[in-house]
Each structure stands twice: as structure tokens, then as C-alpha cells.
Chains A and B, each alone.
Chain A
């Protein structure tokens, strides 16, 4: 392969892959936020903590019970989803008639508590989590080396994102969800149990965060702050994409991951802020977000 603007293709491809991997996490996390915001009208600030919880549950399953990665990929989202059920029933459900701000403050507080508890027990140094054997190693593609696990993260996130999109946009279950997002009172008057739907939707949204946490465990070490660092960027992604649009959340997630990766190649100093710069521009030009349905 030839050089582009003096950048060796290995570097370019490497950063693109890294961008795509970050984008995978952005996409899965902002998707969960969009699903939750759509139906619950709650800005789930504990999303990062729930992502971290997913990573920790995977680590605990392995460390205390000897249960490996593949089971963790199923069990950890279920466990995180179950904690979401409890949180929704005990606290969030009391806030739906209030302003967004209350849900945001509550979930922010919950995030601080969860992260504080884990810092207290496990410190901040991080726990290592091995890449599952079948996915260790990588492929030499000639122009770059592709680690198998990273390829898997991209594939798994794409499957989960588009599976979720399909379920919401194309199935009967999703039709209930879309309808309840628009007019929960009328959907209830048709005999549908909307409160239960809201509860399960929240559990599903945070389950997605838990899933992302398991995916992340072998790449980044499992540590109590892993979500807190990421979630700020994810919120910027959500603002750019527009709250409440499923496909918007997914595409913006991957797109911004890639843009961030490219920035790291061509202007490394800007890579940490490029997403926030884009956010500022989008907010000026189209405040409802690129895929937003209006205010």
C-alpha cells in the first residue's frame, strides 16, 4: 500500500481500527441511552457505572466462580439488567412525572455510589481480564496486524446494535415500544402494561451497558473508573446524534469513533477534544442533533 500524506498505512489502519473499536463502545452505550431516554425521558447518568459493573461482573464470575468469558457475555448483562430493574422500581419510577433533571441527578448519584463502592473494595489499579483463548492472537492482513479479539468486539457490537435496531423498528414488540414512546397514556388505554414495559426497557438499556462492559474487560483493565472516563464522551456522542433516535445513536457512535481515530493520525493533539468540538458545532447548527426528531 502507498503512503497517504506521509502517513504509513500501518499507522492509518491501526488508528482506524482503534477508532472503530472505540466507536463500537460509543455505539452500544449511546444506543442504550437513546432507548432509555426515548421511553423513560430519563438521562441515565449511571450508564457508565453500569458499563463498569458489566466488566466487574465478568471479572467476578471468572475470579470467584470460574465462569469464563462466553458465559459472562450472557450473564453479566442479565445481572446488570436485574440491578436496573431494582433501581427502576425503587427509585426512577417515582420520578417520571418530574423534570428530566431529577432523573439525571438521581442516576448521577447512583453512579457515584456504585463507583465509590468499587473503588473502596478493589482500588483503582484495575483487575486484568484475559482474552478468551479462541480469540487470542491475530491475523496479519499484510498492511496491518489485526488482533482477533478486537475484530470480535467490532463484530459483536455491530450484531448487538443492528439486532436492537431491528427489534425496535421492525417487530411487533418494537411497535409497542415506539408507540409508548410517543403516547404512553393511549398505549395504556389499549390494555398494555406500560409500567412493566418501561421497567423492562430500562433493564434492557443498562443490560446493553453491561454487555459493553464485558466486551471491554479484556481490552482495558477492569477498574472502577472505566465507565466514568468513557461516559462523558458517550454523552457528547448522544448530543451529536440526537436523543431518542436509535439508528442515529448507532451511526453516530461508529462515525465519531472513526473520526477520533483519524484525528489521532493527522493531528494527535486534537484527538481528545475532536468529539467535543463536533458537539459544539452541531449544537450551533442543529441543536436537536444530527438525527434528532426536533425538540
Chain B
């Protein structure tokens, strides 16, 4: 009993000492602290952040990394907190954001510094694909450093379900896809699994891309783009046809992906984060074997095009520790930083000079495609449409799920583009 009391007492003094030490060091370290704001708290992504953080600590012994991560997938909570901080002009030193139009509100509000100087200094324009640079530039200025790349247009399928239905391999075009869905339907399996509303918007972006082709798709996001064209009508009719083969909507993307893994459903179109879910051991995934239990291909009609989304870091105006933020951005942009982060996160680096041996299985395929494909930006994941536009597209798709009225959907998309086109 006495021993316990003694050890508790010593523990208390120990913690007290620890507190003192930190406080005394706090005064001088305060201006060297680098507050990095992100929503990377889940398995994989938090590990990746930690790996980058270690590199940062090694290269910058003067700065102290301060992890201001806010939990919550896709960053809803984090971004709500971030807006209030930015409104109060109390920005973190650097924050995570999806590269592309999602940052547009911040840029227009004058909250971000242009990073062209950093791109010139580090010769990043040579390290990243030229199309990526084009697609994240706003009037010649670049406001963020992409750390990773995810792919949106991936068709996941169950080879044995396809075999049973007499479908050999993934469909290459939308028409083939519809024919294959019909074949699967005859076997009584679910042809296409879907999740909640946002996964249907995710499906729409792949169908638009596959149906219109890359150039016409990219044109949709240019000023005065024509959303009322007959081609868009055709694409939306394809969307309706494909959606008619969808199973009961699941709660989110995981249960929908699981239907494919379990052999209940044949196809699912989802971003490449699904790979980790299929492949990882049972604590975080389903422990399935690639090319056997599940397989993938470019979503129909999009082979040769990489529909990308990316997490990136920014430099807010008035960052308390600007030098520290730039030091962090340099790590985030470096080959070393990206190769440390991405294998753990389950994504590929934005740089084309990455160490290929680090990326296995799906990721090696993805990296290969990244270096040679044409690029197109994702809608649902914040690349091509700003928040208001994306939200309007989500509303239109949600209403369409009930009305099944293509003309009305197109009308809503036309007015969404008119009201929000940047």
C-alpha cells in the first residue's frame, strides 16, 4: 500500500517536472511553432502525416511541429472550424485543403498567398505533371502544394460474379457496361452497388467523363461552358440507364464496396481509397486478394484518363510563422516527404519522379497511369467545382434519384453552372 502511495507521489512530481520544463522552453519556442491544420486522423493517413512530420523535424530542428488535426472524414468539421479561424484572421500556419476549386472561396476572399515563388524555387513545375499545374492554377497563380493523388474513376468488380454472368473482363465503354449490367441482372445478383447520395454524384462524374470524353468534360468547367448540349443530355441518359441497375442504396461507400467483395454485387464505381478497404487486413479492411476476390479497371469509357483529386497544403496570408509554414511546404513538396506519406496513406505522390518500388499492387498501376494519362478533375471531391456549385450538383442528383427526369436534371445542372461558374 505504502509503495503504491510512494510511486503515485513520484509520478505526480514527475509530471510536474515535465510541465515545468515545457513551460520554460515555451517562451522561446512559441514563435517557432508551426501549426499544421489537417483532417488526417484516421488509420493510414495519420501514420503518413507522422512520417512526414519526422522528416520535417530532422530537416528543421529549429521549428516545432504542432499537429492541429481535427477528426472527421472528408474534413467537414475541420473546414467549419477553419472558416471561422480565417474569418477572424487567425489562420493556422498552413492548412490542408483539396487542391482545385474547393480553395476558390479562400482565394477570392484574399486569404491565401500565391506559391509561385516556391514553385520556381523548388522547380515544382517540372516535378508535377503539366496538366496538374494547369488545372490548379488560378489566373496564373498557384495557391497550394499537392501532397498526394487519389483516383476517382475506378471500376471495382468481382471477377467470379462476372464469370457467372458470362462477362469476360471489365467493360471498356459505357455501352458495353450497360450490356454487362444487363447480363449480371439476369443472374439475380446486384449489377451495380451504390451507397448514399454522394456516391451517386461520384458515379455521375465517372459517367460524364466516360460519355463526353476528356476534353469535353474538362470544357464543362470553363467559363460559359455549355451544359445544355445534346452530348450532356446523352451522358445523363447513360447515367439514368446505369442507375436503373443499381441495388438498394447502402449507408455509405463501404457497405456498397463490401457487396462487391462479398460476391453480392458485380460492379462498384468508387475512388481508389476503396482499394485499402478491400485489401487491408480485417481490422481496417476486408482482407481480400486483388485480381482474385476483387479487381479493378478504369471506369467505362475513361481508359487513358486519370480523374484525380488531391490533398494539398497552403500558405494563408498572415500566417504567424511564415518561415515555418514554408519549411513544411518544402517537405510536403519533396520527393522524400511524398514517398514517406503516400505508401502509408494508400495514395500516390503528385510528383512524377517518385520511387516506384514503394508502390505495390493497385498503387503501382495507379502511378503508371498517373505518369501517362490525360488528367481530369473530380466534381465531388472539390477539384473542378467550388463548394456552392458542388452542393448544387448534389441537390440536383438527389432530386433526380427520385424524379428520374433527365430533362429536369440537365436544367438543374445548367442553372448550377450559370450561378456558380467561377
A pairs with B: no
Residues of A in contact with B (beta carbons under 8 Å apart) = none
Residues of B in contact with A (beta carbons under 8 Å apart) = none
